[in-house]
Amino acid sequence: MMAVLFLIASFLVGAVLILTLKPAWENRLHFFLCDKHTFNPGFLFFPASYLIGTLVLSWITYILAVAFQSTEKPLLFSNLASFLLTIAFVAFAVLMNRLKIIGWLNEVKKHGSPTRFSSSEWLVLIGSAVFCSIFIFRSLYMDGELLHAGFSAFSDFGAHLPVVRSFSYGNNFPALYPHFPDGAMRYHFMFYFMAGNLEYLGFNLSWALNLPSILSLVSFSMLLYGLAVGITKKPLAGLFTCLLFAFRSSFAFFTYSKDFSSLNSFMKGIANNLNADGSSREHIGNTVNESWGLWTQKVYMNQRHLAFAFGLFILVLFLVLPLFIETIERLKTSMKANANTSDTLKKYFKNLFFVRDAWLPRSFLPCVLAGLILGLMAFWNGAVVIAGISVLFIMAILSCHKLEYLITAILTFLLSVLQSRIFIGSGTGAVSIKYEPGFLAQSDKLTDILAYYVELLGILPFVVLAVFLVFIPGKKKWLSYSAAILFTLLLVRFIPSIGLVPVILITSLCALLFLFIIRSQKHPLQPSSPWLIPVFLGPILLASTLQLTPDITVNHKYIILAVALLNIPVSDLLTALFQSNKKTTRLISLGLIMFLICTGIVDLITLYNLDKNSVIYNQQDPVQLWVHNETNPDDIFLTHYMTHYGAPMSIMLAGRSVYSGYPYFTVTAGYDVAHRENIMKTIYGIGYPDELRTQAIAEGIDYIVIEDQNRSAGEYTLNEAVFYNTFPVAYEDTERNIVIFRVQ
């Protein structure tokens, strides 16, 4: 099947690029592999090859499709050209390296494959593949000609599936947004172009979207594990990091459970997605919009492009993070040699800003590669690019060789601006900056913001604080005890209302954690762990201060990335506790893990229950078939704004665009919808044929749809008779009372 060949070609392109550029990144990767207890290099090679190859080959295919846009089948010619380029590229690389390949094959013949994964690596690979596959395919699957979109994801699929079909069934080159065709594309669409291309090449729609989604989540999990192990030198820390990524920390479990009167009713509520009063619910949690599932596994079911971009950013960290950690390790060495901490810190800050190595790049190619990866991600997921820049910004301040970070940032900016100019137009941008402190705390008071994050993130912030306790010198016990008391008081002050017993349990566990850290002589944590915390906090600081899109809720992606990275130093600490010889310390570690993941377990049950039901789209729907077969790919349909159901969705699943789609999708993408909303109301309520015709033609509308959604609309009074007197009926479905008029 051609779709499978495209995925194989993507992997080959990525593999050849990575191996060709080996001299540029090998030095940096050596930092993560210098310890015998780290990971197999092949464990990074496979996900990196998929992500890099898909990124590059999809861009090439899209650009070629735009070049062939005047042909009847631009995707056919662009894919043929992409396959030929891939064959030529791989063949040339093999020819140039034939002696190395022959030598490698001989080694494999003699000694077997060098790629032997450890049990931990197999657990991450197989576990994430099984876990992701089950829930991805529950959220979207085909049953014959019926497309099932699970309740967890169908809302977001209302935005994404039309984009996919605009490429696979339509002729959306250059790209425009099917919900608002104005010649611009403000939505990061490239993942859905790739899925549309896979459907065009032979997959059905569910496989075209699900398989790259699974590969992306598995790739991200493998890379996150590799990063955690590379930093901490502890395979168990990598497993803990993946566990904490899959099951979030939050006090939502406790704010939800406190309303139940018995354990039986609580278990029934979890098992059936019920509140304590018996009413149905979706996701648990009392913070703003938490019922949307903003922080749950659901994010990866409906935001399919998120894990792909996260994985690419982890690759960027592999390229730039060694500079930062080596700076910290030099500081540690200097502190050992000099008992005067004040002098050591002065020397550190001097080396950060006032010597040549503080600024001059150590190597140009790694930072150039990092900039290219981030820059090419802009229209795969722009939020991850912005969050990534915030991480690199703080890292650059605390690291030597700052010009490397600057080069990465400049390349990212230039490529992002170039894409914005192409897809959005000059004088506009996908991002507008507005100071908006507090994020969804809806307050600019520090105490309210802290209370919001404590309720949202549970005990995670206090385990993060515990990492700092490990590095307070043993001679300064007074400082350690003072910090522990302060952390405990902060927990008591900001813990939400969850009931007396949970408060006592959680406070006692955290206090025990602080006490054991202080009293223990050694905890084998990496010296970089406390320094990584302010770096990884960058996206949270960004989310809490700036609004870059029309809906500030989008900032939740910054926080998700920050938490995934903060789990690494947390896992370093949990591993040190768990591997201790003391049973009490191990119990504390297990207790912390249970409190950290209990909300995520409920989230998973909730997700499973939600997708027992689905919204069904019949791919043999008469409206969809007629639109696909009888209209032009660039035709625009005026419909009711509720595009998740009825004729509007059938039209978009046929690969066509609607004049003004669901407002949340268009507003959050940055479109000015007010004008089109007024025009839509005017046209449906207009009373004169000439005025109706003039208005519709002036707006570039090719077809006008009238169905029961229009007849019962409260925004306007439909004057249906005037449409029959103005335009010919192009299509009519008498069973569902759908009429489509051709504008002429």
DSSP string, 674-728: HHHHHHHHHHHH---HHHHHHHHHHTT--EEEE-HHHHT-SSS---HHHHHTTS-
Instruction: State the pLDDT at residue 645.
Output: 86
Instruction: State the pLDDT at residue 159.
Output: 94
CB contact set of 241 (below 8 Å; sequence gap of 6+): 224, 225, 228, 564, 567, 568, 571
Instruction: State the pLDDT at residue 36.
Output: 65
Count of CB atoms situated within 10 Å of the CB of 553? 16
Residue 570 counted as domain residue: no
Residue 262 counted as domain residue: no
Instruction: State the pLDDT at residue 736.
Output: 92
DSSP state of 274: B
Query: Which residue is listed with tokens 């993408």?
Result: 669
State which of 202, 232, 262 marks the end of a domain: 232
SS3 label, residue 280:
strand
Q: Which of 564, 566, 510 is nearest to 534 (CA)?
A: 566
* pLDDT class of 122 with cuts at 50, 70, 90: very high
Instruction: State the pLDDT at residue 27.
Output: 84
Q: Which of 150, 163, 198 is nearest to 301 (CA)?
A: 150
Residue 84 counted as domain residue: yes
pTM score of the predicted model = 0.95
Calculate mean pLDDT across residues 44-54. Answer: 97
Q: Residue 521: is its pLDDT beyond 70? A: no
Instruction: State the pLDDT at residue 206.
Output: 97
Count of CB atoms situated within 10 Å of the CB of 446? 11
pLDDT digits (tens, 9 = 90+) for 125-153: 999 999 999 999 999 999 999 999 999 99
State which of 232, 257, 287 marks the end of a domain: 232
pLDDT digits (tens, 9 = 90+) for 273-301: 999 999 999 999 999 999 999 999 999 99
Residue 286 counted as domain residue: no
State which of 175, 210, 232 marks the end of a domain: 232
Q: Residue 335: is its pLDDT beyond 80? A: no
Residue 320 counted as domain residue: no
* pLDDT class of 114 with cuts at 50, 70, 90: low
Yes or no: say if 341 and 335 are a contact pair by the CB < 8 Å rule.
yes
Burial class (CB in 10 A: 0-12, 13-18, 19+), 392: buried
Residue 613 counted as domain residue: no
Q: How far apart are CA 182 and CA 659, in angstroms?
A: 9
Residue 93 counted as domain residue: yes
Q: How far apart are CA 322 and CA 329, in angstroms?
A: 10
Q: Residue 35: is its pLDDT beyond 80? A: no
Query: Which residue is listed with tokens 């005047």?
Result: 70
Calculate mean pLDDT across residues 694-710. Answer: 95
Least confident of 114-123, 170-179, 339-348: 339-348
Full domain range(s) for residue 227: 2-144+189-232
Q: Which of 392, 397, 401 is nearest to 538 (CA)?
A: 392
Q: How many domains does the chain have?
A: 2
pLDDT digits (tens, 9 = 90+) for 439-487: 999 899 999 999 999 999 999 999 999 999 998 877 788 899 999 999 9
Least confident of 28-37, 132-141, 145-154, 205-214: 28-37
Residue 65 counted as domain residue: yes
